[in-house]
Amino acid sequence: MPDLELSLEAQLLLYLSRPDIDDFTAAHIRNLLEKGIDWSSLMAQANHHWVTMQIYPHLKQFGQPSIPSDLLTQVDASFFANTARNLLMATELLDLLKLFTDHGILAVPFKGATLAVSAYGNLARRKFSDLDILVAPADFHKALALLVEQADYRKLPTTFSLYPHEYPLVSREGDVFVDLHQQIAGRDFFTFPLSFEELTQRLQEMTLLDTTIPCFHPEDTILILCVHGSKHCWDHLGWICDFAAYVHAQPELDWNNIRQRAKVLGCDRMLYLALSLSQDLLGLPFPEQATLHLEAPTALASIKNQIYQRCFSATHPSAPTRTWSNPVLQLHILGRWQDRILYLLWFVQKILTPTYKDVAQSPLSEKFHFLNYLLRPLRLAGLWTSKP
């Protein structure tokens, strides 16, 4: 556990979120339950951290005798609704993969449904909001056209110049969101240096709803999860749960190879951070091989402290606050100076680039669109000064 004064509910949430409930963990859970739990507070925290589905079986196992019946009914209903939603999303994913295959496009899903199955062994054990699919850059525009013209998706407004690695779309009914990627990550944090060709050389297969689909090699998935969580400053316990559960479900990982590849790719600090957070919060054993040639634990103590404070403070950062606090923390998480410089350049571009909302709300005609670049910093300043 981190060196923080956590409420009983936060402590219980962390124990319930562990990928492995051993005798030691079970004893702590029972001890906390005897002290009296504010179940409404615990479930509010679980929802905020996106771990309600992860803790559901443990909640039923240990907490059922003391959870108020009306709250338990709500939790049951939420779990069953999420199960139905995930089945819909997984079925749609299989349909889209078949569409791409029929048109000669290799498409690889990641996170979402595939992570639920590979990390938790159960499609229902994770809540996800969209389908992330990676295609080769050469196939990106063809795949985008297929989604619009044959799958009946519509493009969502986006500032593509800032986020050229992906394009968001939504189904015509508005119930399924897709992020079509031509890169795993973009300049908005850390340009993941593994190319589509490198990732697909090590492709494996998995089963989703009795259908065989491609998936990334576990050692690549580990690094993808590290980069994704770090990009979002590990603001939600759910991302740490996903990483810890995936590591726990892959006992044969070659940590020497993972560590060496992380160092070459420039995400070794992110790897250590993910492992350290998982150990501190969720009791994940730290792989001995992974500690070799990594920074001393004290080097990341300040970063972890900030993450813990953000995760477990009574008030969570507002959107305007995150606009400025996230980049500062992200710069600390990035391990190499060249990555920090590239990120700073992107952030300056973001500040100066009008969003689609800016353009939609602007009274300027298309002829004077360039003036929106001058007005953009003023709009941000107004957003900051108007926050409560």
Q: Encoding tokens for residue 181?
A: 């990627």
- How many domains does the chain divide into? 1
Mean pLDDT of 332-349: 89
Q: Is residue 386, in this structure, part of any structural domain at all? A: no
Compute the distance between CA of residue 27 and CA of residue 165 in angstroms, rounded to an integer: 46
Q: Which of 337, 130, 149, 311 is nearest to 232 (CA)?
A: 311
The per-residue pLDDT for 217 is 97
The CA–CA distances, whole Å, from 281 to 116, 155, 241, 304 equal: 20, 39, 9, 11
Q: Is residue 58, in this structure, part of any structural domain at all? A: yes
Characterise 121 by phi-psi region: left (phi > 0), alpha (psi -120 to 50), beta (else): left
- Give pLDDT tens digits for 242-299: 999 999 999 989 999 999 999 999 999 999 999 999 999 999 987 766 554 555 556 6
Residue range(s) defining the domain that contains residue 290 = 8-321
Longest CA–CA separation in the chain, Å: 69
pTM given for the model? 0.89
Q: Is residue 360, in this structure, part of any structural domain at all? A: no
Average pLDDT, the chain: 87
- Give pLDDT tens digits for 22-55: 999 999 999 999 998 999 999 999 999 999 999 9
The per-residue pLDDT for 346 is 87
Compute the distance between CA of residue 155 and CA of residue 224 in angstroms, rounded to an integer: 25
The per-residue pLDDT for 90 is 98
The per-residue pLDDT for 319 is 46
The per-residue pLDDT for 191 is 78
Compute the distance between CA of residue 22 and CA of residue 140 in angstroms, rounded to an integer: 46
The per-residue pLDDT for 356 is 59
Burial 111-126 (b: 16+ CB within 10 A, else e): bbbbbbbbbbeebbbb
Q: Is residue 382, in this structure, part of any structural domain at all? A: no
Q: Is residue 2, in this structure, part of any structural domain at all? A: no
Q: Is residue 363, in this structure, part of any structural domain at all? A: no
Q: Is residue 18, in this structure, part of any structural domain at all? A: yes
Q: Is residue 344, in this structure, part of any structural domain at all? A: no
Position 366 pLDDT exceeds 70? no
- Looking up residue 121, the CATH number of its domain turns out to be 3.30.460.40
Q: Which of 233, 207, 241, 201 is nearest to 219 (CA)?
A: 201
